[in-house]
Amino acid sequence: MVAMPLPMADEARIARAWEVLDTVLDPEVPALSVCDLGIVREVVPQADGLEIVLTPTYSGCPATEVIERSVLDAIEAAGLGPARVTLRRAPAWTTDWLSADGKRKLREHGIAPPGAAALPGGAVPIRLVRRQAAQPVACPHCGSAHTERLSAFGATACKSLYRCLDCREPFEHFKPI
C-alpha cells in the first residue's frame, strides 16, 4: 500500500497541533511538556478531527487522565478540534524517548536526567540477577559525580532521591526505564 501525501491543510494543522502539544506540561514534572517526555507518539488527521496518540509513561500512571484532558483542552483552545486521544501502550514508553531538550530542562529544573535504558539497537536488557553498580548520577546543580542515593523513591515512582557530596544539595534523579 502506497502512503498518500497529506493535503497541505492537514500538514499545517498537524504541525500546529505539535506546536500546541509542546506547550502542554506534564502534571508531575511541570518542567517538561508531553512532547519533551516523548509520550505524544502521533498526530493523525481523521475525517472527524485529529487523533492524538499517547503512550503513558507506565500503565498505572495516575497522571494519564489529567494529561489526556490537558491535551484535548489545548487542541480545542487552539481551534484545532475536534480531537480524541488514543492510548497506545505498546511499545512501552521508555526514558529513551525523552528529548535532548527535555533532558536539558530536567537538569535546569534540578532533576538529574536518566541515562540510556536500552542497548544499542533498542534492545532492553532483562536482568535475572542483581544489577551491577550503576553509573554515578551527576548532580544537576554543580555537575559533580560525587553523589549518593538517599532513597530509591522520590516524589513520584519514576524518580529517586540523591544528594551531592560536593555541593551538599539534594536532588531527584529521573530513573531510566
Domain boundaries, the chain: 8-87, 136-177
Cis peptide before 30 (omega within 30 of 0): no
Whole-model pTM: value is: 0.79
Indicate the residue type of 73: D
Cβ(37)–Cβ(105) below 8 Å: no
- Residue-wise pLDDT tens digits, 38-93: 999 999 999 899 999 999 998 888 889 999 999 999 999 999 989 999 999 999 99
DSSP conformation class of 31: T
The fold of 8-87 is GMP Synthetase; Chain A, domain 3 (3.30.300)
- Residue-wise pLDDT tens digits, 1-48: 544 445 558 899 999 999 999 999 999 899 999 999 999 999 999 989
Q: Give residue 117's pLDDT.
A: 74
Q: Give residue 60's pLDDT.
A: 80
Q: Give residue 141's pLDDT.
A: 95
Map residue 40 onto helix, strand or coil.
strand
Q: Give residue 8's pLDDT.
A: 55
pLDDT higher for 153 or 69?
69
Q: Give residue 156's pLDDT.
A: 82
